[in-house]
Structure 1
Amino acid sequence: MSEISKGILGFPVAPLTKDNELDEQALFKNIEYLIDEKLDAIFIACGSGEFHALSTDEYRRMVEVAMSATKGAVPVYTGVGGNIAHAKSCARISEELGASGYLVLPPYLIEGNQEGVKHYVQELLEWTNLNAIVYQRANAVLQKDALEALLDYPHLVGLKDGIGNMDLNIELTQTFGDRLGWLNGMPMAEVTMPAYLPLGFDTYSSAISNYIPHISRMFYNALLEGDDAKVRELYRDVILPINAIRKKKPGYAVSLIKAGMEIIGLPVQGKVRPPISPVEPEHYRELEAIITHVYDKYPKINA
């Protein structure tokens, strides 16, 4: 079995200038921040990176920046999805630029049956030899038989769950065990991580790691160490309040990250591309109050 990074995964945003152009310098600094904060891998140009709104040129530049900023310190995975031709183009770019692998995002719009979804992933697996992680999300959810048919490809190394079907998660993890790495990709994965960890989901994508990564690490360590009191405390003070804001408006899964980054002084504006909208002023203030409280109560200790 091929190994993938375990722990907390960083999903950088796509910083935009006032003119709505990709800000490569800001992206570089933001990725450097995640590396300095000991995130275990970088997933570039995925959902948080507004994959849906990137041109092919912007996609290539984001991957180039990620490769340059990480300097081989951690694996770099890319987002690959949309229509199959575009997905294959992104996979090829990722391979050319030296990425460790890619995350298979859902195909565009069309609802396929299990055979169709399987073939979508299979075409990508046969297109490059890069490691691939399938993402259970939206119109692309593999059931047991379809996933099993893809396991002959050794470079299919992981599955990321974004739907929360625990019956299916139990069936898949208990059937395939350590053949795959298991990633929790639920929106604000900290909320569900205590339920996922016993199944073998020892890795998760953390949106809040973009602006309070020390809290992500504190929370995950508390889970691993069985410190239930610390887990409850972090739920009460940080995770559930932020999640409550995130659920107030569609698109906040992305724009709230940019707001948090802006609040702590990282080089990113709150600008997002349609159909996502910026965070409303009152919600921005609510997030700012939470982050201020976080840094007062849980100050970051530099190693």
Structure 2
Amino acid sequence: MRKGEQFAGVSVAMVTPFTADEQLDIEGLDRLVDWHVEQGTKTLVPVGTTGESPTLDHDEHRRVIERVAAHAAGRIQVMAGTGSNSTREAIELTRFAKEVGVDGALMVAPYYNKPTQEGFLRHFATVADAVEIPIVLYNIPGRTGANMLPKTINLLGEHPNIVAVKEATGSMDQACEILTGSQLTVLSGDDSLTLPLMAMGASGVVSVVANIVPKQLLELTDAMAKGDLAKARAVHNRLFALCKDMLTLATNPIPIKGAMKLLGTSNGVLRLPMTPLGDDGYQQLRKTLEGCEIL
């Protein structure tokens, strides 16, 4: 059995709801938590990239983690985003998350300052030494500017507190090197690649589209876990156009907040520098949602 299997299945990379004047919408956050509990989502992941963490100040970041943890109240797992390009700040955020009762921490690779592989090793090991909590590594070089190589990830996997990796490089070879070289649970970081990654041995997904279709994502991951490839493939094919729209229409989380606005589950408010979809983007998204029989 792999480490980190408690996070198998569907984790939702939660959006952060804002009011019309771009303040945190705490009541909206509560509604999202309640809805995901009803839908059967396995784990909530607040204040990741989809949660617009770069535009939240430190106090807001902590408020979102604390509120989600409190409102989840043991009904659903919480894997809080606590990553930073400052190791000291990552330790502080991860300690706070543990104090308020989350089940794990999702830690993005340090961004912008582009550490060496030795820097990645020391960064994550230092946090894991400082805070006894299950840590999920998040490798997304398209956002951070540097790739954490499989050898580095596999070495980090030897630490007892590092249990899984959210794999968002888009490389099947990289994912396979982790699956064959460590006991870490691998979670897809790209909705469109969940099925192929699970076919290789991954255990689930940290999903953007699960903000609107968590039950369908659960169908896919449950089917793959049971070896029912035909059922999983049917769900994958049904949702593929939507997954691609989330990646290609605009930078995440612009498309998912646009989809939630069309579905009436969000006002779609983003904080600068994120800007809403234009008319063409909304038309394409509406067409895709209708084609997937969601709208």
Q: Using the alignment, how far apart are the partners of 1:222 and 1:294 within structure 2?
A: 19
Aligned to 1:273: 271
Identical positions, percent: 21
Decide which moves more: 215-224 or 13-22: 215-224
Aligned to 1:106: 109
CA contact (8 A) 1:114 1:142 kept: yes
Residues 1:239 and 2:243 are matched in the alignment: no
Aligned to 2:218: 217
Aligned to 2:57: 55
- Aligned-CA RMSD value: 2.3
Decide which moves more: 21-30 or 147-156: 147-156
Aligned to 1:122: 125
Q: 1:144 to 1:234 in 2, by over 3 A?
A: closer
Q: Using the alignment, how far apart are the partners of 1:23 and 1:265 within structure 2?
A: 15
Structure 2 residue corresponding to 1:284, chosen from 261, 276, 282 = 282
Q: Using the alignment, how far apart are the partners of 1:233 and 1:141 within structure 2?
A: 30
1:251-278 deviations in Å (ceiling 9; x for gaps): 1x20111122222222x22121222221
Q: 1:230 to 1:119 in 2, by over 3 A?
A: closer
Aligned to 2:67: 65
**CA shift for structure 1 position 166:** 1.9
* Structure 2 residue ranges without an equivalent (≥5): none
Decide which moves more: 126-135 or 162-171: 162-171
Q: 1:194 to 1:293 in 2, by over 3 A?
A: closer
The TM-score, its normalising length taken from structure 1, stands at 0.86
CA contact (8 A) 1:11 1:42 kept: yes
**Where do 1:1-303 residues align within 5 Å?**
1=3, 3-82=5-84, 83-138=86-141, 139=145, 141-176=147-182, 179-186=183-190, 189=191, 191-223=192-224, 224-228=226-230, 231-232=233-234, 235=237, 237-244=238-245, 246-249=247-250, 251=251, 253-266=252-265, 268-295=266-293
**CA shift for structure 1 position 199:** 2.0
Q: Using the alignment, how far apart are the partners of 2:160 and 2:232 within structure 1?
A: 39
Q: Using the alignment, how far apart are the partners of 2:235 and 2:198 within structure 1?
A: 19
Question: Secondary structure in 1 aligned to 2:253?
Answer: helix
Paired positions, count:
288
**CA shift for structure 1 position 242:** 4.9
**CA shift for structure 1 position 229:** 7.0
Q: 1:282 to 1:156 in 2, by over 3 A?
A: same
Question: Which runs of 4 or more aligned residues in structure 1 lie more than 4 Å from their structure 2 counterparts after TM superposition?
Answer: 221-225
**CA shift for structure 1 position 68:** 2.3
CA contact (8 A) 2:5 2:203 kept: no
Q: 1:286 to 1:134 in 2, by over 3 A?
A: same
CA contact (8 A) 1:222 1:231 kept: no
Task: Give the counterpart letter for 2:189 in structure 1.
Answer: G
CA contact (8 A) 1:238 1:290 kept: no
The TM-score, its normalising length taken from structure 2, stands at 0.88
Q: Using the alignment, how far apart are the partners of 1:144 and 1:212 within structure 2?
A: 31
**CA shift for structure 1 position 221:** 4.4
**CA shift for structure 1 position 37:** 0.4
Q: Using the alignment, how far apart are the partners of 1:213 and 1:294 within structure 2?
A: 14
Q: Using the alignment, how far apart are the partners of 2:14 and 2:124 within structure 1?
A: 24
